[in-house]
C-alpha cells in the first residue's frame, strides 16, 4: 500500500490533553494523515476543532455515530482506515463498538472500558469482525522496556521471584489547598471515569508493564485504596500485594497525591540470577544488577540490544527517545496490522497492546475494587 493511512478521531477537541498526543504520535512517521473526526459532543466545538486542524468541513462530524455511518458509506478509496478514540473512559465502549460494527479499525486510549463485561464484549466483537484493535499502553513502546522484556523472556534473570512497580504522581495533592483546580475533574467522577480513579488511570499502566516485560499473570491480589482529597469521589491512592501464577510475588503502588512527584513510573524485577530496573523519567537506560552488587547500565541505541529494542530506538545513543516516540512506536506497530487488514491480507503478529490487554486491565481494576471492599482481602483475579 503506497499511501498514507487515513485517520479519523473521536474526541480530542478544544482543551483536550491526550487527543493532541495521539495526533502527534500517529503522524510522526508520516504513515498516517488525519482526515476526519468527531472531536466533541458539542457540534460547535467539533467544527471549531476541524477548522483548526484544516480538515474538510464535510468530514467533521457531530457525533461518533455520524462519523461511523458516513465514513463507512464512502468508497474504499476515500473512507478512513482507522479511528483513534480519545474520549473519557465512560464512552470508550460505546464508541469502539459503533466503529467496529461499521467496519472501522480502532486505536483506543486506556482503560479500554469501565467494566470487565464491556471489555469482554469488545473482545468478542473484535474477533467477530476481524478488525484491528490497538490499546495505547504507550510505555510498552520504549526501547529499554523491550530490552527488559527480552532479558526476562529468555531467562537471563533466572526464575523471577519478586516484582516492585510504582507509579506516583503529585498533581492531585494541589486540591488539598486549591479546591478550585479544574485539572482532570472528570477522572474523579464515577459516572465518567468508572469505578476507579488512581488505579484505573495509573495502576493499569503498572499491571500492563509487568505483564508485558515478564509475561507473568496475576493469580490473586490484596488491595487497599484511599481517598485523601475530600472532594474526590474516587480513590487517589492505592497499594496492592500481588501473587503471580508460578509463584512470583509483587508490590504495586499508584498515587496521585504524592506531593512533588511528576511521572516517575518505575519497575524492578528480581530473579534468581539478576535484577533489573527501568525508570520512565530516565528512559534511555536499563539497570541490570547481580547478587554481588555490580550494576550494568544498558543504554538505548547500542548494537548489543535485542532487535525489538533497536527497532524502537529512533535516535542514536546519547539522544533521548521520549514519551511521544514511545507512543508513536505503538502506532507504528498498529499500522503494520491495519495496512494488512485494509489490503485484505493476513494480519501479521505485531508488537502493540491489544483488546486482550484491555480485558486484563479491567479484570485487574475490578479485582482491586473487590479486594478493597472485602474482609478477607486476598482476592482471586476476576475472569
Q: What is the pLDDT of residues 223-262, one digit of tens each?
A: 999 999 888 899 999 999 999 999 999 999 999 999 999 9
Tell me if 92 sits within 8 A of 109, measured CB to CB: yes
| pLDDT score for 17 | 87
Indicate whether 338 belongs to any domain. Answer: yes
Indicate whether 195 belongs to any domain. Answer: yes
Indicate whether 382 belongs to any domain. Answer: no
Structural domain count of the chain: 2
Pair (105, 162) in one structural domain: no
Pair (57, 170) in one structural domain: no
Q: Buried (b) or exposed (e) across 15-49, using 16+ Cβ within 10 A?
A: ebebbebbbebbbbeebbebbbbbbbbeeeebbbb
Residue 315 has pLDDT above 70, yes or no: yes
Q: Residue 352 and residue 313: Cα distance in Å, rounded?
A: 16
Residue 362 has pLDDT above 80, yes or no: yes
| pLDDT score for 92 | 97
Pair (274, 343) in one structural domain: no
Burial of 352 (0-12, 13-18, 19+ CB in 10 A): buried
Pair (69, 159) in one structural domain: no
Pair (200, 107) in one structural domain: no
- What is the residue whose three cell numbers read 496475576? 218
pLDDT category at 180 given cuts 50, 70, 90 is: low
| pLDDT score for 12 | 95
Pair (256, 168) in one structural domain: yes
Residue 179 has pLDDT above 90, yes or no: no
Q: Which residue has the higher pLDDT, 40 or 315?
A: 40
- Domain range for 103 is 5-139+327-354
Q: 257 by DSSP, 3-state: which?
A: coil
Instruction: Give, in order, the Cα–Cα distances in Å from 130 to each of 309, 320, 361.
Output: 29, 37, 22
Amino acid at each position: 500500500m503506497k499511501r498514507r493511512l487515513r485517520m479519523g478521531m473521536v474526541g480530542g477537541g478544544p482543551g483536550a490533553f491526550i487527543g493532541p498526543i495521539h495526533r502527534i504520535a500517529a503522524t510522526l512517521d508520516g504513515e498516517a494523515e488525519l482526515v476526519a473526526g468527531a472531536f466533541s459532543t458539542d457540534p460547535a466545538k467539533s467544527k471549531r476543532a476541524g477548522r483548526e486542524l484544516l480538515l474538510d468541513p464535510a468530514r467533521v462530524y457531530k457525533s461518533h455515530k455520524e462519523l461511523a455511518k458516513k465514513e463507512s458509506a464512502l468508497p474504499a478509496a476515500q473512507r478512513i482506515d482507522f479511528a483513534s478514540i480519545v474520549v473519557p473512559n465512560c464512552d470508550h465502549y460505546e464508541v469502539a463498538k459503533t466503529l467496529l460494527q461499521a467496519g472501522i479499525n480502532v486505536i483506543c486510549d486506556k482503560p479500554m472500558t469501565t467494566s470487565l463485561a464491556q471489555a469482554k464484549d469488545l473482545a468478542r466483537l473484535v474477533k467477530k469482525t476481524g478488525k484491528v484493535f490497538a490499546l495505547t499502553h504507550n510505555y510498552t513502546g520504549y526501547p529499554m522496556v523491550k530490552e527488559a522484556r527480552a532479558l526476562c523472556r529468555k531467562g537471563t534473570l533466572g526464575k523471577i521471584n519478586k516484582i516492585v512497580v510504582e507509579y506516583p504522581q503529585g498533581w492531585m495533592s494541589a486540591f488539598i489547598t486549591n479546591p478550585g483546580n479544574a485539572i482532570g475533574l472528570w477522572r474523579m467522577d464515577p459516572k465518567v471515569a468508572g469505578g476507579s480513579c488512581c488505579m484505573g488511570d495509573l495502576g493499569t499502566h503498572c499491571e500492563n508493564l509487568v505483564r508485558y516485560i515478564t509475561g507473568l499473570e496475576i493469580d490473586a491480589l490484596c488491595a487497599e485504596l484511599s481517598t485523601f482529597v475530600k472532594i474526590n469521589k474516587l480513590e487517589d491512592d492505592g497499594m496492592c500485594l500481588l501473587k503471580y501464577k508460578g509463584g512470583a510475588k509483587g508490590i504495586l503502588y499508584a498515587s496521585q497525591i504524592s506531593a512533588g512527584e511528576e511521572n516517575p513510573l518505575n519497575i524492578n524485577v528480581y530473579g534468581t540470577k539478576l535484577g533489573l530496573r527501568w525508570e520512565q523519567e530516565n528512559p534511555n537506560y536499563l539497570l541490570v544488577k547481580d547478587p554481588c552488587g555490580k550494576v550494568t547500565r544498558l543504554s538505548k541505541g547500542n548494537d548489543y540490544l535485542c532487535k525489538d529494542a533497536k527497532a524502537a530506538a529512533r535516535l542514536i545513543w546519547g539522544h533521548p527517545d521520549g514519551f511521544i516516540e514511545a507512543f508513536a512506536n505503538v502506532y507504528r506497530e498498529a499500522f503494520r496490522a491495519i495496512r494488512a487488514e485494509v489490503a485484505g491480507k493476513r494480519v501479521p503478529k505485531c508488537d502493540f497492546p491489544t483488546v486482550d490487554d484491555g480485558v486484563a486491565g479491567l479484570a485487574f481494576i475490578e479485582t482491586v475494587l473487590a479486594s478493597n471492599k472485602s474482609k478477607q482481602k486476598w482476592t482471586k483475579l476476576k475472569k
